[in-house]
Amino acid sequence: MTVKILNRIVRKSKSWIILMAVILALFIFFEKIFMEFAVGYFKKNAIPRRYTDKLYYGPFLNFKIDRMRRFEMPCLICPDEYPSWDPSTEDVKVVILNGRGKETPQMESWNPFNPLILKTSSGNNTVGLEFFNNRDNFSEILNFIYYSLFDTLLNSYSNEYFLIVEDDVLLTDIEQLKRDVGCVLATKTDVFSVFNSKSSDFVFIWGTQAIIYKRSFLTKFKKHLIKHLSFFPIDLLLASYHLTCKTSKEYILHKGVRHITNKD
């Protein structure tokens, strides 16, 4: 009698375990669908940040990044053989965002590429408005400057890619830059950071010091940026918008401090 009772309990326990496993699987499945819908809706409609802190970063994007870290998956896979970037072609335009209003020693390291220099202060080659010692809401100002920069480049130049660097980064290895950009061109990558922010993997998380953008990607990201101008700094907006890789080499060095005006 006791054995029969135990057998019934075991059978019922197995049924409950199976039922709970099915319910859990369904919950995870529908949760992912809901979260994907919610993230898309919130990003599209620019819901205030206080309602979207957890959703805004995109659970599926985070899931992909976590999986890459866990299994040490490469972020950008270059072909076995590909040509290095030839700066004499029109494929890539090098652009320096000059927020100091004057040439810096770091900018000189980019001279071999005959860069386009765009200033954030008044005068020729102006990007955005004139910001004199306005350090309040720095992220919003920087986001607007980048939006204006993207708009200027897309409407004034026909290049397929734009390598945008800030005026406080030093290029120490031209050949490595050519190899990295060559891989981006060969794989037709949308966006890639040639600045290594020294985090533990090769997924871009922060830092707009030196990034190459594909024209078609920039067109879409510009719209996203203006909708979320006051949400997060541009690097966090980019990291949450698109899986972005970065170089594994440290040949572009950040040698400056935060600055957005032409006054020291």
Give 149-173 pLDDT, tens digit per residue. 999 999 999 999 999 999 999 999 9
Question: What was the pLDDT predicted at 138?
Answer: 67
pTM of the model: 0.70
Q: How far apart are CA 263 and CA 133, in angstroms?
A: 7
CATH assignment of 92-254?
A: 3.90.550.10
Q: Where are the domains of the chain?
A: 2-43, 92-254
Reported as a single tens digit per residue, the pLDDT across 25-65 is 777 766 666 655 655 554 444 434 343 334 334 455 666 66
The per-residue DSSP string of 123-134 comes to STTB-S---SS-
* Strand 191-193 with 210-214, pairing: antiparallel
In sequence order, the 6+-apart residues with CB closer than 8 A to the CB of 237 are 143, 224, 225, 228, 231
